[in-house]
């Protein structure tokens, strides 16, 4: 489904990605873990064409996507739904309008279809009777759900999450994590989650990729990770234990 | 922490009575200038809140009580929007409660005169959640700023202090860089150095590791503990990360449904039987707390 081959990217002479190679299968939930500044977000931006790699190749559904022009990239980007760390909702629009925004802007759908999709998407994130509320009337956790509904409304094949649980309290963290799992399975989409949170990864990931200083230093299933001797993985696992 | 508010640690309280008396004398001796709002029976603690209540538009805090000694840390946990930051602002002298008494560094701060309160504020350092650094000033200038504003000392002394604090947080090499030129973790450390620049007796940390990866987060918490030990300061720390709460706390309090539930030491908190506390610290989706 998604393949990275020896991906390299530098900024002002500083090499952030030093040769990343891994693949993601269709329908998988993949967590990309690593410390700050290790290239996780740069990897996501390369995937959606917001950055171009210096060298290496990226394939989505067998099609090489790196090096495409902005116009050529649009159909690729429509396969991808991005969920930002913060809800990033339009605060002057109702929940309904927020979720409908992308549908109206990028898809030529009749209004009754827009209404249907908005309600379906809100139901998927377990939100009811909030479509006429303004974002600021909702809790932070509910705003995150609206943000997810907005992303899934365009029916992406790939969901990309940029640190979806960073800064959340333990209950909201687990709620968002469960939602990522439920949505990925219900919609049968491929999910790539960039995160610091090993606990969440162990809970729902099919596989975990660990980046350190621009390289993949470990990858495997949650149970394989639990037995890893890679120092960074051991440090991450110690954090999981210390929270209980 | 007082026996009235936290029954689970009575034994610790009693064992340490003699230490508390010494602490009080040391603490009181450090307070400068006339202080008519001092109360002998209450300045035993470096921070004490007695029956503090506040009503804001969308929520309230009722009857908050706790006491904190030098060298101790109270970590505040709890769901977002329940009042953790409001509590910090009350202690920092930024938000007056409707009722109750707030004693900081021996001063009943909301009964004190503006001049007295200003003196008290010099004893309090605060790290804001988003650091609140001056983005047009270098790391050096960010730390020098409060020293110039408050201490009125010469530039040689300022340079010595700035270098000392930057060294303490491992940022001496970044002395001439601007905040946008350093990483999020470095910005946090700079914010901490600035909060500590005036040698505060009390340091308030609003989510000091928010948004950081767990490895950096653990290192910053270790640094906070080290600096606290060195200065014997009292820390009040807001965090949502339970691993940080356990690492940093002498005591933990959960701000929930308008009250402060003191849950004791990290070990006692892990064993706490309040269903709200259990649900929160284990992140359980079902329980009395609504998402």
Q: What is the pLDDT of residue B24?
A: 32
Asked if A171 lies within 8 A of B291 by C-beta distance, the reply is yes
- Of the listed ranges B22-31, B98-107, B147-156, the least confidently predicted one is B22-31
- Say yes or no to pLDDT of B149 above 90: no
Q: What is the pLDDT of residue A17?
A: 94
Q: What is the pLDDT of residue B50?
A: 94
Mind listing the pLDDT tens digit for each residue in A52-108? 999 999 999 999 999 888 888 888 888 899 888 888 899 999 999 999 998 998 888
- Residue B283: which of A166, A174, A232 has the nearest Cβ? A174
Closest CA to A50 of A109, A108, A9: A9
User: Any bridge partners for residue A107, and if so which?
Assistant: none
What's the mean per-residue pLDDT of chain B? 82
Q: Residue B282: list chain A partners with CB under 8 A.
A: 170, 244
- Say yes or no to pLDDT of B11 above 90: no
d(CA B250, CA B266): 7
For A175, nearest residue in chain B (alpha carbons): B285
Mean pLDDT on B27-49: 50
Q: Does B240 touch chain A (CB under 8 A)?
A: yes
Highest averaged pLDDT of the listed ranges A40-44, A145-149, B178-182, B250-254:
B250-254
B238 falls in which pLDDT band (50, 70, 90)? very high
Mean pLDDT on B23-39: 36
Q: What is the pLDDT of residue B291?
A: 65
Q: What is the pLDDT of residue B36?
A: 39
Between B139 and B209, where is the model more confident?
A: B139
Q: Does B267 touch chain A (CB under 8 A)?
A: no
Asked if B240 lies within 8 A of A169 by C-beta distance, the reply is yes
- Residue B291: which of A141, A166, A239 has the nearest Cβ? A141
Mean pLDDT on A236-241: 89
User: What distance in Å separates residue B77's CA from the closest CA in chain A?
Assistant: 9
Q: What is the pLDDT of residue B265?
A: 95
User: What distance in Å separates residue A157's CA from the closest CA in chain B?
Assistant: 28
Q: What is the pLDDT of residue A199?
A: 94
CB pairs under 8 A between A and B: 80
Asked if A170 lies within 8 A of B281 by C-beta distance, the reply is yes
For A145, nearest residue in chain B (alpha carbons): B291
Q: Residue B82: list chain A partners with CB under 8 A.
A: none
Mean pLDDT on A193-201: 94
B37 falls in which pLDDT band (50, 70, 90)? very low
For A174, nearest residue in chain B (alpha carbons): B283
Q: Residue B279: list chain A partners with CB under 8 A.
A: 171
Between B136 and B59, where is the model more confident?
A: B136
User: Any bridge partners for residue A212, and if so which?
Assistant: A215
Q: Residue B77: list chain A partners with CB under 8 A.
A: 169
B26 falls in which pLDDT band (50, 70, 90)? very low
Mind listing the pLDDT tens digit for each residue in A19-45? 999 999 999 999 999 988 788 888 999
What's the mean per-residue pLDDT of chain A? 91
B15 falls in which pLDDT band (50, 70, 90)? very low
Mean pLDDT on B148-154: 83
For A233, nearest residue in chain B (alpha carbons): B215
Q: Residue A35: list chain B partners with CB under 8 A.
A: 213, 215-216
Check residue B88 and give left, alpha or beta (phi > 0: left; psi -120 to 50: alpha).
alpha
For B149, B179, B180, B181, the CA distances from B136, given in Å and listed in that order, are 17, 8, 9, 11
Q: What is the pLDDT of residue A129?
A: 87
Q: Does A174 touch chain B (CB under 8 A)?
A: yes
For A18, A34, A64, A210, B280, the CA distances from A39, given in Å and listed in that order, are 9, 8, 21, 11, 32
- Of the listed ranges A95-109, A222-236, B40-54, the least confidently predicted one is B40-54
Pick the residue of B59, B246, B277, B283 with the most A CBs within 10 A to test the interface with A by mutation.
B283
- Say yes or no to pLDDT of B126 above 50: yes
The angle, 0 to 180 degrees and rounded to 10, between the axes of the packed helices B275-282 and A170-187 is 60
Between A87 and B290, where is the model more confident?
A: A87
Mind listing the pLDDT tens digit for each residue in A146-189? 999 999 998 999 999 998 888 888 998 998 899 899 989 998 99
Residue B161 has, within 13 A of its CA and on its CB side, a CA count of: 23
- Say yes or no to pLDDT of B20 above 50: no
Q: Does A169 touch chain B (CB under 8 A)?
A: yes
Chain center to CA of B289? 26
Q: What percent of chain B has pLDDT over 90?
A: 45
For B279, nearest residue in chain A (alpha carbons): A171
Asked if B243 lies within 8 A of A239 by C-beta distance, the reply is yes
- Say yes or no to pLDDT of B217 above 60: yes
User: What distance in Å separates residue A173's CA from the closest CA in chain B?
Assistant: 7
Q: Residue B213: list chain A partners with CB under 8 A.
A: 34-36, 196
d(CA A19, CA A7): 5
Mean pLDDT on B202-223: 88
- Say yes or no to pLDDT of B186 above 50: yes
Q: What is the pLDDT of residue A140?
A: 80
Pick the residue of B78, B213, B272 with the most A CBs within 10 A to test the interface with A by mutation.
B213
Mean pLDDT on A121-127: 88
- Of the listed ranges A75-84, A137-146, B25-34, B191-200, the least confidently predicted one is B25-34
A138 falls in which pLDDT band (50, 70, 90)? confident
Asked if A178 lies within 8 A of B285 by C-beta distance, the reply is yes
Asked if B215 lies within 8 A of A236 by C-beta distance, the reply is yes
The angle, 0 to 180 degrees and rounded to 10, between the axes of the packed helices B184-196 and B214-231 is 10
Say what the pTM is: 0.82
- Of the listed ranges B37-46, B89-98, B205-214, the least confidently predicted one is B37-46
CB-based contacts of A84-89 (< 8 A; 24+ apart in sequence): A84/A147, A84/A162, A85/A162, A85/A163, A85/A164, A85/A166, A85/A167, A87/A135, A87/A140, A87/A143, A87/A144, A87/A146, A87/A147, A88/A147, A89/A135, A89/A143, A89/A146, A89/A147, A89/A150
Q: What is the pLDDT of residue B106?
A: 86
- Residue A196: which of B78, B213, B289 has the nearest Cβ? B213
Dihedral sign computed on CA atoms, order B233, B95, B141, B155? negative
B44 falls in which pLDDT band (50, 70, 90)? low
């Amino acid at each position: 489904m998604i393949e990275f081959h020896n991906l390299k990217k530098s900024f002002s002479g500083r090499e952030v990605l030093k040769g990343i190679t891994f693949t993601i299968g269709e329908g998988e939930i993949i967590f990309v873990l690593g410390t700050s500044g290790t290239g996780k977000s740069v990897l996501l931006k390369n995937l959606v064409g917001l950055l171009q790699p210096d060298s290496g190749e990226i394939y989505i559904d067998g099609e090489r996507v790196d090096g495409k022009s902005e116009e050529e990239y649009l159909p690729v980007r429509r396969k991808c739904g991005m969920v930002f760390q913060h809800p990033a909702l339009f605060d002057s629009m109702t929940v309904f309008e927020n979720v409908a925004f992308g549908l109206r802007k990028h898809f030529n759908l009749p209004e009754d279809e827009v209404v249907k999709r908005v309600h379906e998407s809100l139901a998927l994130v377990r939100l009811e009777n909030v479509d006429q509320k303004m974002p600021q009337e909702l809790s932070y956790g509910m705003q995150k759900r609206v943000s997810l509904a907005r992303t899934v409304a365009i029916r992406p094949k790939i969901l990309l999450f940029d640190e979806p649980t960073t800064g959340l309290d333990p209950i909201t963290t687990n709620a968002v994590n469960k939602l990522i799992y439920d949505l990925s399975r219900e919609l049968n989409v491929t999910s790539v989650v960039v995160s610091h949170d090993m606990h969440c990864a162990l809970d729902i990931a099919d596989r975990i990729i660990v980046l350190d200083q621009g390289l993949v230093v470990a990858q495997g299933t949650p149970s394989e990770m639990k037995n890893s001797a890679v120092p960074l993985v051991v440090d991450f696992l110690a954090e999981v234990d210390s929270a209980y | 922490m007082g026996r009235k508010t936290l029954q689970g640690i009575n034994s610790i309280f009693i064992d340490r009575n003699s230490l508390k008396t010494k602490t009080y004398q040391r603490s009181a001796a450090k307070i400068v200038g006339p202080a008519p709002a001092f109360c002998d029976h209450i300045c035993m603690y470096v921070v004490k809140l007695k029956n503090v209540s506040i009503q804001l538009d969308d929520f309230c805090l009722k009857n908050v009580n706790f006491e904190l000694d030098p060298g101790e840390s109270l970590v505040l946990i709890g769901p977002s929007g329940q009042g953790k930051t409001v509590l910090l602002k009350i202690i920092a002298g930024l938000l007056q409660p409707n009722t109750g008494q707030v004693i900081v560094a021996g001063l009943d701060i909301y009964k004190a005169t503006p001049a007295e309160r200003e003196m008290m504020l010099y004893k309090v350092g605060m790290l804001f959640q988003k650091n609140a650094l001056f983005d047009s000033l270098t790391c050096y200038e960010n730390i020098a700023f409060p020293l110039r504003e408050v201490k009125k000392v010469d530039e040689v002394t300022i340079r010595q202090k700035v270098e000392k604090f930057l060294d303490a947080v491992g940022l001496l090499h970044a002395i001439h860089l601007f905040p946008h030129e350093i990483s999020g973790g470095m910005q946090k450390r700079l914010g901490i150095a600035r909060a500590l620049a005036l040698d505060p007796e009390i340091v308030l940390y609003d989510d000091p590791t928010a948004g950081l990866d767990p490895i950096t987060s653990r290192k910053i918490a270790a640094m906070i503990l080290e600096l606290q030990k060195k200065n014997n300061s009292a820390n009040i720390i807001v965090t949502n990360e339970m691993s940080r709460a356990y690492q940093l706390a002498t005591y933990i309090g959960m701000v929930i449904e308008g009250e402060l539930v003191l849950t004791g030491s990290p070990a006692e908190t892990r064993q706490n039987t309040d269903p709200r506390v259990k649900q929160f610290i284990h992140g359980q989706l079902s329980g009395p707390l609504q998402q």
